[in-house]
Structures are given as C-alpha cells and as structure tokens.
Amino acid sequence: MSVRDGSVTRPRGEARSYYGRPILKEPVWKPEIPLYLFAGGLAGASSVLGFAARVTGRERLARTSLWVGLAGELASPALLVADLGRPERFLNMLRVFKVTSPMSVGSWVLAGSGAATTAEAACEALGILPRLRLVPAAASAALGGPLATYTAALLADTAVPVWHEARRELPFVFGASAAASAGAAAALLLPPGEAGPARRLAVGGALAGTAAAAVMERRLGFVGEPYRQGAAGRLARAAGAAALAGAALLAGRGGRSRAAAVAGGALVLAGELARRWSVFEAGFQSARDPRYVVEPQRARLSARGATPER
Amino acid sequence: MSSLEERSTPLAWPESYGEEARERVGFFTDTSVCIGCKACEVACKEWNLIPQRELRWTGESYDNTSALGSEAWRHVAFVEQRAPLRLDGDGPERVDGALRWLMSSDVCKHCTHAACLDVCPTGALFRTELGTVVVQEDVCNGCGYCVPACPFGVIDRRELPAADRPGPFAGKPDGRVWKCTLCYDRTKGGHEPACAKACPTDSIQFGPLDELRGRAERRLEKLRSEGWNGARLYGEDGQDGVGGFGAFFLLLDEPEVYGLPPDPVVPTRRLPELYAAAAVAAAALVAGVAGALLGGRR
C-alpha cells in the first residue's frame, strides 16, 4: 500500500480528482491500430483456416484463405510502421526480444508469420514445391492463433482500466472476432458450394465474439461504462448488430445464394472491424476519466481494510 | 540490506550492473514546504532543453502546466481547499473554513517495477546503474506503448516538430516519448538534478533512497505531532503495486486530490495471466476452425 492516511476525511461516494483531469495518458495510437487489430486477426485466423483446409483436401478454400491471409500479413506491418512516431526506425522493433513486452513478442510473431505466409504464397503462385510448402504453411498456421490473440494481451498489459480489467475476456473477444473475419472473408469470395466450413466459422465466430464481448462488458461493471457510451458504445452496438445480422444471413441463405453469402460475409467483416474499433475507442474514454482509475483503486484499498500502517 | 530494501530493489538490479551498480537514488518531495514557485519546472526545462509548447491559461488556481507530459517533467499542482491546515495546535491555520492552498511538485516516480520499461519493445527504456528509469532517445521509435502503460500518466509522445529529423521527415513531429531522466547526465557525475538544485525550500530532496526514506519518516512524525491535517507518505512503501517509488512524496491529502492514483499497480504484474488467457484463446481459435471443418459434410 502506498498511502498512509492522516486524518482528512473523504466525502462519501464521491471520487475526488485534480480539476477532473485524467490521471492516465490517453494512448497516442491512430486509426491504423484498430485497422491492424482487424487485419492481424484476419491474417492469423486465415492462416489457421487455410492450413486446416489444405490438410483436409479443400484446395479452393485453402487457396482463398492463403490469399486473404497474405493480404492481412502484408497490410499489418504497413499499418504498424505508419503509426510509429519514428517510422524510419521501425527495425528497432526487432532489436531485442522482450517477454515482458507483448508488443515485442507480437512483432516477432508477426515477422515470423508474415515470412511464412509470404513463402507459402510464393510457392502457390509459382506452382512449385508442393510438399515443402507445407512447412511454411504449418508455421504460419501455428503462429496464426497467437497473432490473432496477442493484441488482446498487448492492450490488457496497460494501465487503462477498461483494457487491463478485461484481461481474461479480451483474448476471447479478439480470437472469436478473428475467426469470424477469416470465415466471412472466405465465404464472401468463394462460391457457396465450396464455402461450408468458412460459413460455419463465420457464424460461430460472430456468435462467440458477440457473447464474449457481452460477458466482458458485464464483468467489467462500472469500469465497462465506455462500452455503453459515446463512440465506443455506438461501435459496440453496431458490431453486435452487424455481426449477428451477417451470421443470420450466412446461416440462413448463404449456402444457396451467392448474393446472400457476399452480403452476409461483408456484414460480419464490418461487424468485426467495428468490434475491434469499439475496444480501441473504449480505451481512450477509459483513460480520459479519472473516476475509472480512482474508484476501483479506492474500493481495493478499503477491501484491504482502509489504509493501515504496515 | 534490510528486508524493505530487498523488496524494493528492481529485478536484475543492481546485479545486472556488477561493478558499475551504484546506490539507488531518488527524490523525496515534501509538499508541506512547497511554495509553488515553479523553479523546479523552469530549471528542468532549461537543463534538459525541453522545447516550449503553446501557453494556455487554465483558470485552475496558479497551475497552467496541468499535467506531466513530454514537455513537462516537473509539474506543480495547486489545490485550493476550504479545510484547516492544522487540526490542533495554536494559530490561524486551525480556523474552520479557512482556505488551505496545497502545492505539490509532481515528477516521474522511477518505479521499482516500471511498466514503461517492461513494455518497451525496442529496449529504448532502460534502468540506469543508479536505479532510475531513462529513455534512450536515439533508440525510441515512437511506438507509444509506454504511454498508456504508465499507471501515473507520466510519459508521453512529443508532437512538436523536431529540429533534427532527417530528409523526408524534416519538420515532422518529434514522435518519440520523453519523461524525467532524474537528470541522468547530472547524477552520473555526482550532481543533484536540476529541479532539486533549484528548489528554494528543499521541498524537492535528492539522495540515496534509503536515506530519503528515513528523512521522510522523521518529517512525517514531526508534522503529525504538530497536528497537520492529512499528512501522509505516498510511494515510500516497497510493498505497493509498483514495488515502491524511486521518487516519493509527503502529501497533505489523498493522492487523487493531486491527480495521483491512490493504489497504482504495474500492469505487467498480471503478465502470466495475460499470456495464459491469450494462449487459451488462440487454442480455442484453432479448435473452432477444426470444428468448422469437421462439423459438416461439405
């Protein structure tokens, strides 16, 4: 405990602050970051889906997921470099490997999966090394899961209450969201007859992501208020509505109608992008208001028995 | 070494320095004698060549700096209260309803377990041989991760134009993060930091951390025996959520009144839990994909 109480008494039920000013700094990240959260998740889950499709003999699904994954893998570093305060120093990201920094771990994961996916895509495009290409395919599939969920650990490993206090739920929100995105992208690009597994993944991911987001918001309680207010609230509601509508369309008519598959896939993709963006925005709203910092910390202090001397 | 010191020693320090390790130094900021002159803010800016930012009038007492940031490594807070300065003893300070004017010079806490340092992906942030936390400005690539990681909102990215950016980036924002270095360039050479040097009332005291802690205990006892209202130490306890501050305070009210978190915790304390949740979620994603492929006939 860092405070030794003197005799000042505190007005009950009212968080005190310094002119209402924030205690934390808002993140300095720009829209490239929520776009990356989406693109990285899409890439990671597409690598897993593509490899699974390859080993179960679904060649068209495997190829489509490979191209989707490659697009995500190539977009990701570009978005991340663009967001740096010193883009010309982007290579410093690989200067060390630091387990205490989810961003360092994630940079290596992204570098590895990007290289593996690019190698696999090159083999595919050139039509060479039909067996050896399974090695990079397996590597990018193995890194796909971590690529989709490390960003949740990254956000949770900050002092921002709405992110840090969601550390148990956020990876599941992001993992499900990534699965839904990968499934939706493949369902959108493939003829309905080839896209059964992709549709199932999109529907399951959208349902799981919406459920995980609801659990997260409920468990956060007061700290989760940003998900009900302002930009984060609007995005969270839009995410749930679009993802569920898209899932319903894919499940209901996606197997018969190409138009329904395209519309449903696009809705799920839009919903999952909005979901990432709502989490991103919630962090800013959470950091901005000192009540989210002071009230839980005060509650923690009184749960430990006021402020005893140690 | 006392048990308190052991608990408040940063991981891998001083062992990682071997022969180069030196006694851990820090600040004790005794706000009961702060007169709000802001000499610390000025001395800091001058010594560290901090660029000027736009001047804004806030109307918040005498505080127009508002918060620590990339251009303010010391920040003097001014709090106006209707509260007695003392609860007993003689003199006008006891009158109920009198104005109490609290002033406090805030600074980077140089945490024992520093979130900014933990999360920095480039190794730009490092712990010095003196136990302080410093950014290497030639390494920082402006990823911004340390900014929301700090439980005190200390470190921030500089958006003012940089004079020294090369070629296509000339005139673009500086883009790196900046914070108090505890005047590493001065402390290395055995000098006290600029703010402590400039402080006319010794509200800012610099020295070996355990010596400062003893001094702070004695000061707190004295203020309490004189009946000062709300005197307490903040950040001196090596068992708190950041393992104790390298720069700690004597405050006259609750920390949040000065814009400080009442019970800060380094977010990386939960790192195993964070990684475990991400790993389980990644496994669930793979299981979900497998289920989608095996779950149907097409």
Residues of B in contact with A154 (CB under 8 A): 145
Residues of A in contact with B221 (CB under 8 A): none
Q: Which residue of A has its CA nearest to B64?
A: A19
Q: What is the distance in angstroms between the Cα of A116 and the nearest Cα belonging to chain B?
A: 18
Is the CB of residue A13 less than 8 Å away from at least one CB of chain B?
no
What's the pLDDT tens digit per position in A89-139? 999 999 999 999 999 999 999 999 999 999 999 999 999 999 999 999 999
Q: Are residues B12 and B81 in the same domain?
A: yes
Is the CB of residue A153 less than 8 Å away from at least one CB of chain B?
yes
Residues of A in contact with B172 (CB under 8 A): none
Range of the domain at B290: 267-298
Q: Are residues B199 and B69 in the same domain?
A: yes
Terminal CA-to-CA distance of chain A, rounded, Å?
8
Q: Are residues B100 and B63 in the same domain?
A: yes
Residue A4: predicted pLDDT: 35
Residues of A in contact with B289 (CB under 8 A): 45, 48-49, 52, 179, 182, 201
Residues of A in contact with B277 (CB under 8 A): 152-153, 156, 167-168, 170-172
One-letter amino acid for residue A95 of the chain: R
CATH code at B196?
3.30.70.20
| Spatial CA neighbour of A102 closest among A154, A147, A144, A164 | A154
pLDDT at B296 over 90: no
One-letter amino acid for residue A149 of the chain: T
Q: Do B281 and A152 touch (CB under 8 A)?
A: yes
One-letter amino acid for residue B298 of the chain: R
Angstrom CA distances, A7 to B81, B88, B230, B272, stand at: 15, 11, 5, 39
Measured CA to CA, the distance from residue B130 to residue B17 in angstroms comes to: 10
The CATH fold assigned to A32-289 is Formate dehydrogenase/DMSO reductase fold (1.20.1630)
Q: Are residues B16 and B69 in the same domain?
A: yes
* Confidence band for B5, pLDDT divided at 50, 70 and 90: very low
Q: Are residues B119 and B48 in the same domain?
A: yes
Is the CB of residue A247 less than 8 Å away from at least one CB of chain B?
no
The CB density around residue B168, as the number of other CB atoms within 10 Å, is 8
For the record, the structure tokens of A82 come out as 């663009």
Mean pLDDT in residue range A157-186? 98
Of chain B, the percentage scoring pLDDT greater than 70 comes to: 91
Of chain A, the percentage scoring pLDDT greater than 70 comes to: 94
Using only the alpha carbons of chain B, give its radius of gyration: 22
For the record, the structure tokens of B136 come out as 């290497």
Per DSSP, helices labelled H in chain A are 32-55, 59-83, 102-126, 134-156, 161-164, 170-189, 196-220, 230-253, 258-288, 291-303
Q: Are residues B89 and B207 in the same domain?
A: yes
Q: Do A1 and B237 touch (CB under 8 A)?
A: yes
Measured CA to CA, the distance from residue A166 to residue A175 in angstroms comes to: 14
One-letter amino acid for residue A300 of the chain: R
Tally of domains in chain B: 2
Q: Are residues B16 and B111 in the same domain?
A: yes
Residues of A in contact with B120 (CB under 8 A): 98, 101
Q: What is the distance in angstroms between the Cα of B203 and the nearest Cα belonging to chain A?
A: 19
What's the pLDDT tens digit per position in B64-108? 999 999 999 999 999 999 888 888 766 666 666 678 999 999 999
ipTM: 0.94
Q: Are residues B213 and B294 in the same domain?
A: no
Interface contacts (A, B; CB < 8 Å)? 311
Pairing of strands B177-178, B156-157: antiparallel
Q: What is the distance in angstroms between the Cα of A99 and the nearest Cα belonging to chain B?
A: 9
Q: Do B267 and A164 touch (CB under 8 A)?
A: yes
The answer for A 249-278 residues in CB contact with B (under 8 A) is: none
Q: Where along chain A do its domains lie?
A: 32-289
Residue B163: predicted pLDDT: 78
What's the pLDDT tens digit per position in B111-131? 999 999 999 999 999 999 999
Of chain A, the percentage scoring pLDDT greater than 90 comes to: 93
